[in-house]
A and B are shown apart, each in its own frame.
Chain A
Amino acid sequence: MSRAAGRDASGHDASGHDASAARDASVRPSGSPARPARRSTRAAATRPPLRYRIITASLLTVAALYFLTPVYWLTVSATKNSADLFGTFGFWFAHPRPLEHLRDVLTYDHGIYVRWFTNSLLYAGVGALAATLLSAAAGYALAKFPFPGREAVFNLVLAGVLIPGTALALPLYFLFSTMGLANTYWAVLLPSIVSPFGVYLCRIYAAAAVPDALLEAARIDGAGEARIFAGLGLRLMTPALVTVFLFQFVHIWNNYFLPLVMLADSDLYPIQLGLTSWTGYADRRPELYQYTVGGAFLSVLPLMVLMTVLQRYWRTGLTEGSVKA
């Protein structure tokens, strides 16, 4: 396609020429009767040149390969036994028996994997739910009630956001062991319920999304503060609450250091800790390699579904945090 042909074709379907047409348009004095040029400017805005689209698509594809290859490897390897894991090419299937292998993972050692999975769900589910409620209440109060010491509390929360979690985990263990809380469910659950970032997010969101006039109206109608919070506040804050829940769920689910220092009893382990205990024995029991890979595959599934399905909540919520920071 020649340059002239591109011009003739009214600029809409031209590929490499829209950019030059747009450049021409900008050179023209704005008052001049340049209708075709303006049309092509809009066309350039909606359909960039072909070579830009090709470059963009190639770069995005390379990046996608990088991010997806390990996941692909995991999917393929979850169908292999230990011998094939070492003996066959990693990026292709060999004697795939996925259901059998996954059953082996689930039944090994009297179904300890199921126990770990349940523990992880308990820590992350209950912890994130409680964290969301506490953050919502605290954030709502910080945004909507002018009480003495409000700024001090908020600054304390902000400092909490910046404290590295693992620097806290060791001291927390020392403290909890003097209190007899170490090596219990509470040792992992209690710290998981505290989310300074959640409070921060909820305060910002409540300040913007819960109108004072509405609260006043509810008060004049005689509703108690608890009812106003539960009926109005929580409903208006829902998008932020979903974000806080997701954040905290992933945070707890992914947390390794805290359970590692807190828990000695393998019945209390979350999945991550359990799987690393398997890799520790794999030298002596080679089938554990296969179980580790299968277990890793199973453990990744729920979070991936959660993240893909609820992606739009991540977006809106993160905007809140990043714009205001």
Chain B
Amino acid sequence: MSGTDRGRPATGRVQRTRHPHNSRNFRNSRNPRLTRTEARNARAAAAFVLPFLALFLLCFVAPIGYAVHQSLHRTERTGPLGLGGQEREVFAGLANYAHALADDRFLTGFGRVLLFGVVQIPLMIALATALALLLESASARGIPFFRSAFFLPYGVPGVIASILWGFLYVPGISPLVEIAGSLGLHVDFLARDTVLWSIANIVTWQFTGYNMLVLISQLKAVPDELYEAARIDGANAWHLARHIKIPLIRPALVLTTVFSIIGTLQLFAEPMVLRPLAATIDSGFTPNLHAYSEAFVSNNQHIAAAEAVLLALVACVLSFGFLRLVGQRGDGSGR
């Protein structure tokens, strides 16, 4: 039974027990040596951290700085009618942000991914939790097979998954539509009202197994004695799951939810790939798609930069907001 295997690696539960200074305490009596050690430490640390830090600055900090700069400027052309001639950048204040926020399609896109997140994330996390609990329950057989089967779609890139499901959605090629048709059902996965949920299905298919694995690893980190004690107290599988396992994997649930929120806001590959198949997906279907088409179709870098900044801001607000929300509830109730 996997729930009680004692041979699992203990790496998950190793705590940071040693204070970094403890091991050097014996040197406190010899001061000059200590400062020399400290200088040596700082030099070594710099050598270890700098390569990462330099690239981090180039690929994370600088682009954000540049995007903020771009978003606050606009291009002005000096030629007649604003065409041709010399280009120069002038300060635009918040005009680009105002433009982006006044754009109905950009806002609709935001609304769409928020709706998507509100429905898809809870469903996916619930499914992942259910599968994790089932696989970790005493009743499960064939665990390695099922775990691999559920996890497999995580190895399928979003683009490939969308191409794949696209073929399963299009009437005329999809065996699913064909089967439904032979049962007398008319299904259209790509209609105006359904296409968002068809995309939600692709995302759920891809990431449920991954989230399940995160939850399973936290379940395995729970001391077996706890389950044993509860079982001796007469808890059945349901009680065990509801009152012991789910509260204990809360940190993992929070983690997977936050990563799902961030992922949902970035929704891009799936609608991009399905666009040729579904006329209802326009260039403003998601905020990311909108920013992309501002940059490459409308050729308006400054608006695109403003939209990218807004997207990052909303992602931060939502993930930190969620962390605070669950944090407060954790403090408030003693259950």
Point out residues on A near B: beta carbons under 8 Å. 19, 22-23, 25-27, 41, 44-48, 52-53, 55-57, 59-60, 63-64, 66-68, 70-71, 73-74, 77, 85-86, 89-91, 134-135, 137-138, 140-142, 144-148, 150, 153, 156-157, 160, 162-168, 170-175, 190-191, 193-194, 196, 199, 205, 207-209, 211-213, 216, 225-226, 229, 239, 250, 253-254, 256-257, 260-261, 272-273, 275-276, 279-280, 292-293, 296, 299-300, 303-304, 306-308, 311, 314-316, 318-323, 325
Q: Which residues of A contact B142 (CB under 8 A)?
A: 57, 60
Q: Binding site of A, secondary structure by majority: helix, strand, loop or mixed?
A: helix
Instruction: Compute how far the CA of A212 lies from the CA of B26 in the bound complex, rounded to whole angstroms.
Output: 13
Find A137's partner among B52, B66, B231, B236 (CB 8 Å cutoff): B52
Instruction: Compute how far the CA of A44 lies from the CA of B255 in the bound complex, rounded to whole angstroms.
Output: 34
Instruction: Compute how far the CA of A73 lies from the CA of B178 in the bound complex, rounded to whole angstroms.
Output: 14
Find A142's partner among B49, B292, B296 (CB 8 Å cutoff): B49
With most chain B CB atoms within 10 A of its CB, the pick from A66, A239, A320 is A66
A138 with B48: in contact, given A209-B11, A212-B18, A253-B157 (CB under 8 Å)?
A: yes
Q: Does chain A have a CB within 8 A of B86? A: no
Cβ contact within 8 Å between B154 and A307: yes
Q: Which residues of B contact A225 (CB under 8 A)?
A: 40, 44, 47-48
Cβ contact within 8 Å between A170 and B295: yes
Closest Cβ–Cβ distance, residue A74 to chain B (whole Å): 6
Pairs A–B under 8 Å by Cβ, sample size 21: A48-B237, A53-B141, A57-B141, A57-B142, A64-B145, A67-B149, A137-B51, A141-B49, A145-B48, A147-B41, A147-B42, A147-B46, A163-B316, A166-B311, A199-B52, A239-B11, A296-B163, A307-B155, A322-B214, A322-B218, A325-B254
Instruction: Compute how far the CA of A312 lies from the CA of B4 in the bound complex, rounded to whole angstroms.
Output: 17
4 nearest A-B pairs in the assembled complex, by CB-CB distance: A90-B175, A26-B234, A319-B12, A171-B67
With most chain B CB atoms within 10 A of its CB, the pick from A70, A142, A170 is A170
Residue of A nearest to B145 (CB): A64
Point out residues on B near A: beta carbons under 8 Å. 1, 4, 9, 11-16, 18, 20-24, 40-42, 44-49, 51-53, 55-56, 58-64, 66-67, 70, 127, 130-131, 134-135, 137-142, 145-161, 163-165, 167-168, 172-176, 178, 205, 208-209, 213-214, 216-218, 220-221, 228, 231-234, 236-237, 251-252, 254-256, 258, 262-263, 265-266, 268-269, 272-273, 276, 288, 291-292, 295-296, 301, 304-305, 308-309, 311-312, 315-316, 319-320
